[in-house]
Amino acid sequence: NTYTPVHRSGVSDASHEPSSDRVKELFASQKQSAHHTDTPTQSGQRGDYFTSSSLEGTLLQDRYRVQKRIAKGGMAWVYRATHEVLGKPVAVKVLFPELAEEPEFHRRFVEEARVLSTLSHPNIVQVYDVFEENGLLGMVMEWVDGDNLATWLQRRQERIAFEEIHEIFAPLLDAIQIIHEHGLIHRDLKPPNILLHHQDGELLPKLADFGLAKILTKELTTRSGLQMGTPAYMSPEQIKDSRDIDHRSDIYSLGVILYEVLSGELPYEQPFHFYQVTHQPPIPLRTHVRGVPSALEKVVMRCLHKQPERRYQDAASLAKALLPLLEQHAPLTPVVRERPLPRGWRALLRPEILVSILVLCVLVGVTFQSLWPGSKEPSVTPQKRTVAVLKRAALRDNKRQRPQRPQPIPKQDAAPLVHRPPAVGTLVIRSQPEATVWWRGRRRGKTPYTLKRPVGERVRIVLKADEHRDLRVSWTFRVGRHRKMWRLRREFVSLMLRSKPLGAKIWSRGKYLGKTPLRVKGRVGTKRVFELRKDYHFARKVTLQFRAQGVSVLTPTLRKRKSAPPTGSELQNMRSLKGLGGVIKDAAGNK
């Protein structure tokens, strides 16, 4: 189920708006024609009876104008659409009708779409809306401009540097960890489902098309002819029984993707067969990549283990093992391997054989020229030419056999043809107070934090700390190790509100906040009034002005009443006594 955005020009005429009845007729007619045909579709998928223009120009949910069909997956079509009011491009995924008609599929699809819509992560394609209209079931998603990882790998001529792999996999693993924590399993992790979006000059991977395959049952899969996942990236347990898998199946798929990114090959021999995944060990990574670090190979091969319990148990564990290795090692040098000539051809390259071939060619050429009609060049006979050629060949052989003078070793002035990684600069990020370092949309760690990048590269970093304003800074890396201290301005301050005696109830703006001691927080430069109440004490109002450099503890004193007011139970007893004609006195003896 692949969502591959493709740039297309042209927008459908907004004046042409098929009505809801027209939409229903389009899909009903296409479906009816499909039931009367016995020839399989070209792609072999059910539901391929929709034409590419079935929804173009349609207004869905009175706000999404469909423009072009851009992709087709195993369960749905993906269209590019535009929000009529906001003018914002969106991606609309419409499921095949036979899937939308399944009650269980319908229920779980809507349920998972609801969960996905709550995930707010910069590396996950956002789900905006789910709709059901005239028998159509689909969702509205974020539109992502750019290529996917599969297309990007095909365009690359040289091997990808470790730094680029780190740039892609660091946020990707973070996104997968998030969806696993929410109980979702992707089940179809592969390069086409990893979108690469360039934002502010930085590469931002986005994970698309996850969760949908999870709601397919075995019965529905067999009946609809759908493929649960992509065979080359499926785990052994997913091949055996796709219903009996957990999030560790995604770890296996990540291992296949990482193997392919590093080597350009899949971990099994081609042609691919399911038996290889379930029974045969994968090809060692070093077979395709010369000089790959052994620690990195162990990480990849552990992801590809047949037994789920022997793999990394979550994406966070994989990131902890993988990312430091990508930061420590230099990029791999592409290995250019020349195909060796067959032995028979190598024997023909000997000097004496080459001379004989040359003489034979000359004799054939001269003879052919002498026999050719109209030839008028008798000045040199074939015998003389042959003798001259043989003399020159013998002279070359004598020179070759003479002892040669030892040649002086040439000076190594020119740079050797060896790949050298670019110079790397180091930045030690420090802050006051301690802050979290965010870079390229991902949390990196806490200060002091060390970042290494090629010299000349400019990075943008965000420092975040509780009760402080986010600080956005830029840095251009230079040769050497540099330390930089940044100070964050306070946005919120908190102080401990106590009281004498303790246990006073705190009210503010008509809301009960709790009892003292209580930590209260406010924005710098603002004021707030708090009221403290306690039985047998006078209420007291306190006005707090939140300052960046203010007090951290405030302890107002509550004045005790001379005569404490009756409690609820005492008041009830007093009312009962009064009804009986009794006399009520307080603690001071007053009536």
Using one digit for the tens of pLDDT, what is the confidence trace for 337-362? 343 444 444 445 556 666 677 777 77
Which residue(s) pair with 533 in the sheet? 505
Q: Stretch 10-39: mean pLDDT, rounded?
A: 37
d(CA 521, CA 284): 57
Q: What is the structure's pLDDT at 560?
A: 87
Length, in residues, of the chain: 591
Q: What is the structure's pLDDT at 307?
A: 93
Share above pLDDT 90 across residues of the chain, in percent, rounded to a whole number: 16
Burial of 503 (0-12, 13-18, 19+ CB in 10 A): exposed
**Higher pLDDT residue, 558 or 54?**
558
Q: What is the structure's pLDDT at 551?
A: 56
Region of residue 233 (phi > 0: left; psi between -120 and 50: alpha; otherwise: beta):
alpha
Q: What is the structure's pLDDT at 545?
A: 78
* Residue 337 tokens, joined: 């391997």
Query: Which are the contacts of 133, defined by CB distance < 8 A and separation ≥ 6?
Result: 20, 23, 60, 61
**Higher pLDDT residue, 154 or 396?**
154
Region of residue 495 (phi > 0: left; psi between -120 and 50: alpha; otherwise: beta):
beta
Query: Which are the contacts of 80, defined by CB distance < 8 A and separation ≥ 6?
Result: 5, 8, 66, 67, 68, 70, 89, 90, 91, 92, 143
Which residue(s) pair with 554 in the sheet? 497
Q: What is the structure's pLDDT at 488?
A: 85
| Angle at 19 (CA atoms; ends 13, 23), nearest 5 degrees | 95
246 pLDDT tier (thresholds 50, 70, 90): confident
d(CA 426, CA 478): 8
Q: Could you tell me the strand order of the sheet in which 436-439 lies?
A: 442-446, 436-439, 458-464, 471-476
Residue 458 has pLDDT above 60, yes or no: yes
Share above pLDDT 70 across residues of the chain, in percent, rounded to a whole number: 66
Cα of 535 vs its chain's centroid, Å: 58
Contact 525, 546 (CB under 8 A): yes
Query: Which are the contacts of 352, defined by CB distance < 8 A and separation ≥ 6?
Result: 397
Residue 399 has pLDDT above 90, yes or no: no
What is the per-residue burial (b if ≥16 Cβ within 10 Å, else e) of 162-198? bbbbbbbbbbbbbbbbbbbeeebbbbbbbbbbbbbbe
Contact 563, 538 (CB under 8 A): no
7 pLDDT tier (thresholds 50, 70, 90): very low
Mean pLDDT is lowest, of 10-19, 162-171, 569-578, for 10-19
What is the per-residue burial (b if ≥16 Cβ within 10 Å, else e) of 69-99? bbbbbbbbbbbbbbeeeeeeebbbbbbbbbb
Catalytic sites, residue numbers: 188
Short-list 124, 123, 82, 130, CA closest to 107: 130
Q: What is the structure's pLDDT at 332?
A: 53
Residue 590 has pLDDT above 70, yes or no: no
Angle of helix 248-263 relative to helix 162-181, nearest 10 degrees, comes to 170
Contact 124, 207 (CB under 8 A): yes
Q: Stretch 517-539: mean pLDDT, rounded?
A: 85
* Residue 12 tokens, joined: 């459908």
202-218 residue pLDDT tens? 678 899 876 454 544 44
Give the end-to-end CA distance of the chain in Å, rounded to a whole number.
Answer: 85
Q: What is the structure's pLDDT at 296?
A: 94
Calculate the CA dihedral of residues 314, 317, 323, 329 and round it to 10 degrees.
-120
**Higher pLDDT residue, 130 or 160?**
130
* Residue 268 tokens, joined: 């099994």
Q: Stretch 223-251: mean pLDDT, rounded?
A: 76
